[in-house]
Chain A
Amino acid sequence: MQRRSIQFILTVSFTLFSIFIILIVSVLLFGRFSATAQDNAFRNSQQIVDQVSYNLENYVEVTSDLFNMMHHALGQSENVESDMMRQQLESMMSTRTDTVSLVLFDDKGQLLLDLPNVELKETLRISEEGWFRSAMDTAGHLSISLPHVQNLYKQQYRWVVSMSKSITVQHNGKQVNGVLLMDVNFSTIDELSERISLGKKGYVYMLDESAGNIVYHPQLELIYANLKQENVELALKHTYGSFIDETSEEAKMISVQTIGNVGWKVVGVSYMDEVMTTSWELNRSMSKLLIALVLIVFLLSSLVARRISRPIKRLELSMKSVERGDFDKAVSDEGPLEIKHLADRFNTMIGTIKQLMVRIVSEQESKRKYELEALQAQINPHFLYNTLNTVVRMVGMNKNEEVITTITALSKLFRISIGKGKSLIAIADEMEHARNYLIIQQMRFKNKFDYSFDLQDEALVHPTLKLIVQPLIENALVHGIEPSVDKGHIAVSVRLEGSEIVIRIKDDGLGMSEKQLSQIQAGTVVSSKGSGVGITNVQERIKLYFGDAYGLQFESELELGTTITIRFPALMPNQIDGGEQS
């Protein structure tokens, strides 16, 4: 898998997360809003239709009241053709400007009274008119006709709604049955309906409930010419409510309300695309908003991600320069707190590394120096010269036996001290070296001292630094045994104490004063005699190799002798090979 940058991960995950949230919120909001918008549209349309219905119902009621008043007045009248009656009716009619005419016919269709008094058409057949028949058929019941063209007066074709009711009146002293007709101008209703706006395209139409005829429609001509259809069935099925009509190519919302007193229905038609405009507008706005938000979130999150990742990248660059070996340039700690911490830690680390490097360099240098010295010790010509002198003397005295012993010891000594260039050798070998040295020295200083080895077998396999025992023995011979008058003794012991190797070199020579002792311990005494590999050299090598916890310990008392204890950890025997130094 390809690894992505923090910047990429942050940007993408922030953006995705935000899109997710925004989407959920907008879907929820939009759903809610659409539902509300539709509810509102339903309510608005229904309210308008209800208002129209209410107005109409009210209008019809008021008009019916007027009609009934006149009906009552005529029924009570002694003579319907009296001038007083006419005046009374005229004043009643004048209360309403939209009453076109009031006409009274007898049951044969003969005119008894008409207001206004305008010439009727000659061709009229009153008894065939719809309003006349319905009034005669349902006696005592007020019939309200559909809007129609008035067919009464010459040269007048007005759209009216007819109210008719059977009546019994006194005419010329006789009781006459007849029909009272009042025509009300339809223009009031027409204007009322025309003015209704249901959006830009919406309109209101009216239905006759009983026959399903369209009573009023702004485009009635088109409907009769079959250029336009109206879903009358849906409107007829319901007495009240708003519905969505999807039968036509354009979805419409229709609101129905029934006018009780005339048996009409007011149907409001709104076009869904108009009704839901706000909803679509919102939809558009929301999607724009969404895209804008996503873009902004994307920009912001990439900005944030860059801010976070830039210091990291800078840190990385600085680290790269360290990688190339440039330890002197400090990493800049600009950026957030975490980055500052990281940079500080890194800088500290670089500092430590630098210190360590300096130390290692100096340690390496001193190690080399001591090793060089140790190497020099291996071929100390003075010691060789003394030994060879001794051998020559022995040869002169014909002590062949001793010559052999001395030369053998010398050769062994050299073999071990040259070794294979290793700095670690087994303790056994080191002891062998020490023993050979003592053998040679004993040959030189006959009966001046003797020696003993107390070696613990387990300790012998462990490695030790090369040439640490011999210098100490040399030291004991030169400073302890040689100046002493008595015959001396040197005891060498090796012990494994826990995880440490303890080597003791004990002599019973002169011993040291406390001042000498402290000087030796401080390492300030440099001996010019002997093999040249002094105590200090041994001490420093041990400390360099094994650490400051190890090294030499001195115990000494004047006239009683000195004991030097070497301590160092017991390494595994296999390190003899691995301990090789370049």
Chain B
Amino acid sequence: MAKHKSMIISWLLFLVAISLLYSALYPGSEEPQQEEAGKTIQLILRTSKGDYWKNVTMGAQAAVKEFGITLHVSAPADEGDIDGQLQTAMQSLETKPDAIVLGANADSAFEPFLLEAAKRHIPVIAIDSLLTSGEIASYIGADNYLAGKEAMREMADRLGGKGDVAIIAFSKGGINGKLREKGIRDAVKDYPGVRLVDGQFCSDEYGACQAAVRGMLDKQKLDGVLSLNTETSIGAALELKHRLAGEKIKLVGFDSSSELLELLQENQLQALIVQNPFSMGYLSVKHALEAASGSSVPDQVEIGMELITEENMFWLKNQKLLFPVVQ
């Protein structure tokens, strides 16, 4: 009996030795995957259009390279396409990604998505625009309220603390637009000489924005215009250029594009408040990865904003921010 037992033990040891030998000689065959590698992150952008989201994607790609993961990117064609984006988001849950990075076009509409994601234990990182309708792992984006205040401060400086100012906002701007506007409206109170006299919305065609600005300028005399995103800024600047009112009517805008920078150089607008989408993309993937592996993630990561003027746009540190793509 004891002899039998020791025979069995000997054979087991022999088998263990053989398997160890095999795995030592052919290590590739059963190499365990690195902890983070092989994870899949779904990135859902607000729109496929524009440099901003392109830069977000580039930042995400940088993180992909650094951490060796898989990234799927999807985006609706239009920032207004809430249903389409929601549908994309819901579909992406089916592919069972380890985490989802979402730049949502709407807040409350995504409640069912967030519920579903929570049910499947897939962490969601909100970027660009905050989601309040459900549970998210983290929000990574700029403090748009502060940015609005900063825009107002810049405007007041340029006007010498006195003048009538109008806001031209993006009709589908979502929570970011609202926060920027709120920041502006709150900051106005600090400058007694400055009045907010008008506010208009326009769609994502800068032509429409130009028309809206034209309407405002036709209606009243303005000393300054605050435009809350790329299209509204271009529209406003073009209208000012058209009226040869550049620099006389101060224009402070948000975001950047080559047209806007050109107009900035022509002094049709005086300042742009620019986010760092590359960092946002990078950090979102980095934190999504952390959330997916169960480590704690900060509730909110603030991405800084730069105030770009004609003087500082070619500074070393701003060049890469404004012209991220080498062409």
> Contacts A219-B62, A221-B279 known; A296 to B17 CB distance under 8 Å?
yes
Bound form: Cα–Cα A299–B68 in Å: 43
| Assembled-state Cα–Cα distance A286/B323 (Å) | 51
Q: Is B174 an interface residue (CB 8 A)?
A: no
* Contact call A302/B62, Cβ cutoff below 8 A: no
| Chain B residues within 8 Å of A200, by CB | 65, 68
A219–B265 touching, CB < 8 Å: no
Given A123-B265, A218-B62, A299 contacting B14 (CB threshold 8 A): yes
Give the complex CA separation of A291 and B22 in angstroms. 12
Q: Which residues of chain A from 238 to 267 have any CB-CB distance to chain B below 8 Å in the complex?
A: none
Q: A289 contacts B24, CB within 8 Å?
A: yes
Per-residue CB proximity of A172-215 to B under 8 Å, as 1/0?
00000000000000110010000000001100000000000100
In the complex, residue of chain B having the shortest beta-carbon distance to the beta carbon of A289: B24
Query: Is the CB of A379 closer than 8 A to any CB of chain B?
Result: no
Please, which residue of chain A has its CB at the minimum distance from the CB of B316? A213
* From B20, B59, B258, B321, contact of A292 by CB (8 A): B20
Chain A residue at minimum C-beta to C-beta distance from B14 = A299
Contacting B10 at CB < 8 Å: which of A157, A289, A299?
Answer: A299
Q: Is the CB of A295 within 8 A of B320?
A: no
Chain A residues lying within 8 Å of B68, measured Cβ to Cβ, are 200-201
Q: Is the CB of A221 within 8 A of B59?
A: yes
Across the interface, do A285 and B24 meet the contact criterion of CB distance under 8 Å?
Answer: yes
CB of A437 within 8 Å of the partner chain: no
Q: Could you tell me the distance between the alpha carbons of A159 and B327 in the complex, rounded to whole angstroms?
A: 6
CA distance A429 to B324 in the complex (A): 138
The chain B residue sitting closest to A156, CB to CB, is: B258
Q: Which of A77-85, A222-230, A531-539 contacts B (4 or more CB under 8 A)?
A: A222-230
Assuming the contacts A122-B266, A224-B317, A292-B17, asked whether A187 and B283 have C-beta atoms less than 8 A apart, the reply is no
Distance A158 CA – B319 CA, assembled complex (angstroms): 11
In Å, the complex CA distance between A284 and B24 comes to 7
Chain A nearest Cβ from B293, distance in angstroms = 16
Q: How far is the CA of A494 from the CA of B282 in the complex (A)?
A: 129
- Least Cβ distance of A347 to chain B in Å? 27
Known: A154-B262, A157-B258, A213-B316. A295 touches B65 (CB 8 A): no
A203 to chain B minimum Cβ distance, whole angstroms, is 8
CA distance A225 to B281 in the complex (A): 13
Residues of B within 8 A of A382 (CB): none
Contact A289 B276 (CB under 8 A): no
A307 interface residue per 8 A CB criterion: no
Which single member of A187, A221, A293 contacts B276 (CB below 8 Å)? A221
* CB-based contact B279/A227 at 8 Å: yes
Mask, A143-161, CB within 8 Å of B = 1, is 0001011010011011100
Are A187 and B326 interface neighbours, CB within 8 A?
A: yes
Query: In the assembled complex, how far is the CB of residue B325 from the closest CB belonging to chain A, in whole angstroms?
Result: 8
Q: How far is the CB of B25 from chain A (nearest CB, A)?
A: 7
Asked whether B14 lies within 8 Å of A295 as measured between CB atoms, the reply is: yes
Contact residues in A for B70 (Cβ distance below 8 Å): none
Whole-angstrom distance between the Cβ of B75 and the nearest chain A Cβ: 20
Q: Is A288's CB within 8 Å of the partner chain B? A: yes
With known contacts A227-B282, A296-B17, A299-B14, A201–B262 Cβ distance under 8 A = no
Contact B320 A224 (CB under 8 A): yes
Complex-state Cα separation, A123 to B261, whole angstroms: 12
Q: Give chain B nearest CB distance to A38 CB in angstroms.
A: 20
- On whether the beta carbons of B265 and A121 are closer than 8 Å, the reply is yes
Q: Which of A154, A155, A292 has the most CB of B within 10 A?
A: A292
Residue B171 lies at the interface, judged by CB distance under 8 Å to chain A: no
- Chain B CB count within 10 A is highest, among A121, A200, A218, A224, for A224
User: How far does the alpha carbon of A409 sit from the alpha carbon of B21 in the complex, in Å?
Assistant: 102
**A286 vs B24: C-alpha distance when bound (angstroms):** 7
Residue B23 at the A interface, CB < 8 A?
yes
How far apart are the CA atoms of A159 and B316 in the complex, in Å? 12
CB distance from B313 to the nearest CB of A (A): 9
Chain A contacts for B258, CB-based, 8 A: 155, 157
Report how far A296 CA is from B18 CA in the complex, Å. 9
A220 near B21 with CB under 8 A, answer no
0/1 string, B15-35, CB within 8 A of A gives 1: 011101101110100010000
Q: Are the C-beta atoms of B278 and A295 separated by less than 8 Å?
A: no
List residues of B (253-290) whose CB comes within 8 Å of A's CBs: 258-259, 261-262, 265-267, 276, 278-279, 282-283
* Interface status of B66 (Cβ within 8 A of chain A): yes
Report the Cα distance A148→B23, complex, angstroms. 52
With A and B bound together, what is the CA distance between A201 and B262 in angstroms? 36
A119 at the interface (CB under 8 A from B): no
CB-CB under 8 A from A213, the residues of chain B are: 316
Known contacts being A159-B326, A299-B14, is A224 close to B25, with CB within 8 Å?
no
- Tell me if B59 and A295 are in contact (CB < 8 A): no
A194 to chain B, nearest CB (A): 9
B:287-327 near A, CB below 8 Å:
303-304, 314, 316-317, 319-324, 326-327
Complex CA gap A218/B63 in Å reads: 11
Chain A minimum-CB-distance residue to B301: A227
Asked if B21 and A289 sit within 8 Å, CB to CB, the answer is yes
Contact partners of A158 in chain B: CB under 8 A: 327
| B276 & A201 in contact (Cβ 8 Å cutoff) | no
Q: Are A157 and B323 in contact (CB under 8 A)?
A: yes
B320 to chain A: which residues have CB within 8 Å? 220-221, 224
User: CB of A548 within 8 A of chain B?
Assistant: no
Whether B278 and A221, one on each chain, are in contact in the complex, defined by CB atoms closer than 8 angstroms, is: yes
Rounded to whole Å, the gap between the CB of A507 and the closest CB of chain B is 80
Bound form: Cα–Cα A186–B325 in Å: 11
Q: Is B77 an interface residue (CB 8 A)?
A: no
Residue from B267, B278, B283, B323 in contact with A149 in the complex, judged by beta carbons closer than 8 Å: B323
- Give the interface centre of A157, A158, A186, A289 by most chain B CB atoms within 10 Å: A157
- Is B13 in the interface zone, CB < 8 Å from A? yes
Residues A291 and B20 in contact, CB atoms below 8 Å apart: yes
A132 at the binding interface (Cβ < 8 Å)? no
Most chain A CB inside 10 Å of its own CB: which residue of B59, B265, B326: B326
A281 at the interface (CB under 8 A from B): yes
Please give, as numbers and ranges, the residues of chain A lying within 8 Å of B262 by CB-CB distance.
Answer: 154-155
- Whether a CB of chain B sits under 8 angstroms from the CB of A298 is yes
Q: Which B residues are in CB contact (< 8 Å) with A284?
A: 24, 27
Interface pair B13/A219, CB less than 8 Å apart: no
Interchain CA distance A303-B68 in the complex, whole Å: 49
State the Cβ distance, A134 to closest chain B Cβ, in Å. 15
Q: Which residues between 84 and 104 of chain B lie within 8 Å of chain A, taking CB atoms? A: none
Task: Name the interface residues of A14-62: CB closer than 8 Å to any CB of B.
Answer: none
Q: Which of A294-309 contact B (CB under 8 A)?
A: 295-296, 298-299, 302
Closest to A228 in B: B282
Could you tell me the distance between the alpha carbons of A151 and B262 in the complex, rounded to whole angstroms?
10
CA of A220 to CA of B261, assembled, Å: 20
**Closest approach, in angstroms, between the C-beta of A253 and any C-beta of chain B?**
16
Min distance, Cβ B239 to any Cβ of chain A, angstroms? 19
Please provide the chain A residues from 511 to 545 with a CB less than 8 Å away from any CB of chain B in the complex: none
A291 to B19, CA, bound (A): 11
- State in angstroms the CA–CA spacing of A122 and B268 once bound together: 13
Known: A218-B62, A292-B20. 16 other contacts (CB 8 A): A123-B266, A123-B267, A149-B322, A151-B314, A155-B259, A155-B262, A157-B322, A187-B327, A219-B282, A221-B279, A221-B282, A286-B24, A292-B16, A292-B17, A293-B17, A299-B17
What would 30 A/B residue contacts be, using CB atoms closer than 8 Å? A121-B265, A155-B262, A157-B261, A186-B326, A187-B326, A200-B65, A201-B65, A213-B316, A218-B65, A220-B320, A221-B279, A221-B320, A221-B321, A222-B62, A225-B276, A225-B303, A227-B279, A227-B283, A281-B31, A285-B23, A285-B24, A286-B24, A289-B21, A289-B24, A291-B20, A292-B18, A295-B13, A298-B13, A299-B10, A302-B10
- A residues at B contact (CB < 8 Å): 121-123, 146, 148-149, 151, 154-155, 157-159, 186-187, 190, 200-201, 213, 218-222, 224-225, 227, 281, 284-286, 288-289, 291-293, 295-296, 298-299, 302
Instruction: Please name the 8 residue pairs, one residue from A and one from B, whose CB atoms are nearest each other, closest first.
Output: A221-B278, A288-B24, A295-B17, A292-B20, A289-B24, A285-B24, A159-B326, A292-B21
